[in-house]
Structure 1
Amino acid sequence: MKAVQITSYGAADVLRVNDVERPAPGAGEVLVAVEASSVNGHDVIVRAGELKMVSGRTFPIGVGLDFAGTVAATGAGVEGWQVGERVWGMVHPRRRHITAGAAEFVVVSADRIAHAPEGVSSAEAASLVVAGATALTALRDSVSLADGERVLVRGAAGGVGTAAVQLAHALGGHVTALARDRHAEFLTGLGADAVLDYGSTTSDRIGPFDVIVDTVGRELHCYRSRLAKGGRMVTVGLSGPALAAIAASSVHGSRRIRTFSANPDTALLRDLAGHVTSGALRPVVDRVYPLADITAAHQAFERGGVVGKQVLAVSA
């Protein structure tokens, strides 16, 4: 089968589409014939070597956190899944994988998949796995957004950002999106009540907000200061400076900066599918690339300035 792997850490040009042996599911596992995957920040930082404590220094290393496709086989002890059922899911982000979601087949624990939502293509479904699970966890579980609260989504045009705008609106928030000015009309269509141009808007001139969802990972202390009394802030844009800001904010109690690692299980993926089926959350795909163009997809992600997700079309 074809699978994206890296044999050394570095820029996007270290990515290779290799011929590898098709994996077999073990006890409690499911083999999925992958139809689509997407590019996520986690994929990029693994490739760059920023998570060596997890991915190690033994190569090759598989690439691709999420996937959508069909069940191809089940391992011993797996119940409730039939070959041919449409599923979506995610490999474990804190484990090393020889092959992962960006491959024609992927083996994953049965508790990390769910039925893919009806009414969307596999490419569209793949665009929502990590982005949607991250946004839902941030808003519902990390900061417990309440109806009527004022929400700022920073980096609102990206994959997580577009999902957060939609879900914050669905949960009853008054949503302010911070993004490039040219994306204002589109973000308003997703549910934003106001859109601010990040190029001309400084943090000291906005707010206060009850909730801030950050996907950027820079200048966190400046935005944290725009929280209202009792406000909450969560960031998914992790970097060295971001981690330092998170640690330093611990003295602020409930107004500290929170973070988490998206790691959805079947229950969360079912909840997410419900939001898609209801129309509260729709996919935002910037471009679909063939698997052979994985380098270009990663480069587009790193350049930024686009709306939504880069998706990989995979034919098993």
Structure 2
Amino acid sequence: MTMRTAVFRRFGPPEVLEVVEVPRPVPARGQVLIRVEATSVNGGEIAQRQGRLQRIARTRFPSFPGIDFAGEIVALGDGVTDVALGDRVWGTVDERGPVGSAAEYLVVERWRLARRPPHLTSTEAVTLLAGGATALVGLRNKVRLQAGEQLLVRGAAGGVGSIAVQIGVMLGARVTALAHPASADFVRSLGAEEVIDYRTPIEDLGRFDVIFDTRGTNLWRLRRRLAPGGRMVTIAFDLDRPWRSLGAIAASGIFGPRRIRFFLGHPTGALFGELREIAEARHLRPVVDSVYPLEQIADAHAALESGGVHGKVVVGIGQPRGDSGA
């Protein structure tokens, strides 16, 4: 049996992406086979396809895009007993691995997935995964955001930033968002108390207890906007000048608690289980910017690349049976 999957064989614009037929995978011990219903386009995938990550991590061809997924279990490998055929699940693949989730079927280790929120469709659910896990770990675990603190979210309208705003509100922070003026109403609808034009000079910003950065540029200048005892975390670095970003992160270590924390998420099914509970408690609202079929994944990449996206660009794969989320 075969399946369709997205692939690119060289670096370049969205048009290097194509959809091809490949053999359908078979789950090994400890793995499950997922019929994928939706995935999303993430910023890291754009940079990888463009070849902008080559200074940091090499890309092998052919390369298969897609990190997160929502779908249904259709086969179990040996030793998997705590999930069942037909379970509606969500999870992520290994970003450095050989497979991507922009495919009709996907084999993944059992520990990489969890049952997804039953009230969300696959399209809605997949918008919360990568961004939700990143924002939750960054704000709760890395900088220990406390109720009543002033939080600045940079890139607040994007796939991760829009979730970070909501996580900040859930944790009781007073959220200020850096975003384009056209996104102000959208970001306020997520719970931000104040929205500042992202073009405002960094030196003109106020002081914040916590800064959550999704851009990776001007990190040293941004760190200076921390109040005494403040903490900062970034999930990105300047792809045009990566060593400047990495140098700022390293040099900031002399400031102890006020250093710039950088992390790349490696989420597990247990974390996705927590995220499901948060979503079920209605602390998170999925934000779907647009949806494209697998055959138009190049258009999906182009949409994110062009900017102005609110939330996530989703790629719908396969037609889920009665996808009401249940």
> Which band: TM-score by shorter chain?
over 0.9
- Contact 1:55–1:61 at 8 Å: present in 2 too? no
TM-score normalised per structure 2: 0.92
Match of 1:14 in 2: 16
Task: Give the Cα separation in 2 of the matches to 1:252 and 1:207.
Answer: 20
CA drift of 1:42 comes to 2.1
CA drift of 1:16 comes to 1.1
Identity among equivalent positions (%) equals 48
Match of 2:251 in 1: 248
Alignment of 1:219-238 (within 5 A): 219-238=218-237
Task: Give the Cα separation in 2 of the matches to 1:264 and 1:205.
Answer: 36
Match of 2:6 in 1: 4
CA drift of 1:244 comes to 2.6
Unaligned runs of 5+ in 2: 320-326
Q: How many residues align?
A: 312
Match of 2:25 in 1: 23
Q: The residue matched to 2:247 in structure 1 has which SS?
A: helix
Higher helix share: 1
Q: The residue matched to 2:203 in structure 1 has which SS?
A: helix
Q: The residue matched to 2:148 in structure 1 has which SS?
A: coil
More divergent stretch after superposition (219-228 vs 48-57): 48-57
Task: Give the Cα separation in 1 of the matches to 2:236 and 2:58.
Answer: 19
Match of 2:196 in 1: 196
Q: The residue matched to 1:102 in structure 2 has which SS?
A: coil
Give the aligned CA root-mean-square deviation in angstroms: 1.4
Residue 116 of structure 1 aligns with an amino acid whose one-letter code is R
TM-score normalised per structure 1: 0.95
Task: Give the Cα separation in 1 of the matches to 2:135 and 2:220.
Answer: 21
CA drift of 1:206 comes to 1.8
Match of 2:97 in 1: 96
Q: The residue matched to 1:127 in structure 2 has which SS?
A: coil
- Contact 1:55–1:96 at 8 Å: present in 2 too? no
Residue by residue, what CA displacement relative to the aligned partner does 1:117-174 show, whole Å, maximum 9, x if unpaired? 1211101111111011111111111111011111000000001010000010000001
Residue 143 of structure 1 aligns with an amino acid whose one-letter code is V
Q: The residue matched to 2:127 in structure 1 has which SS?
A: helix
- Contact 1:42–1:65 at 8 Å: present in 2 too? no
Residue 245 of structure 2 aligns with an amino acid whose one-letter code is A
Residue by residue, what CA displacement relative to the aligned partner does 1:169-228 show, whole Å, maximum 9, x if unpaired? 0000010011011222221111111111113x2211222100000011111111100001
Match of 2:69 in 1: 67
Match of 2:109 in 1: 109
**1:83 aligned residue (82, 85, 93):** 85
Task: Give the Cα separation in 2 of the matches to 1:56 and 1:296.
Answer: 22
Task: Give the Cα separation in 2 of the matches to 1:31 and 1:192.
Answer: 39
Unaligned runs of 5+ in 1: none
Question: Does 2:291 match 1:288?
Answer: yes
CA drift of 1:55 comes to 5.1
Match of 1:212 in 2: 211
Change (3 A) 1:54 1:83: farther
- Contact 2:48–2:59 at 8 Å: present in 1 too? no
Residue 189 of structure 1 aligns with an amino acid whose one-letter code is S
Residue 131 of structure 1 aligns with an amino acid whose one-letter code is G
Q: Which runs of 4+ in 1 moved over 6 A?
A: none
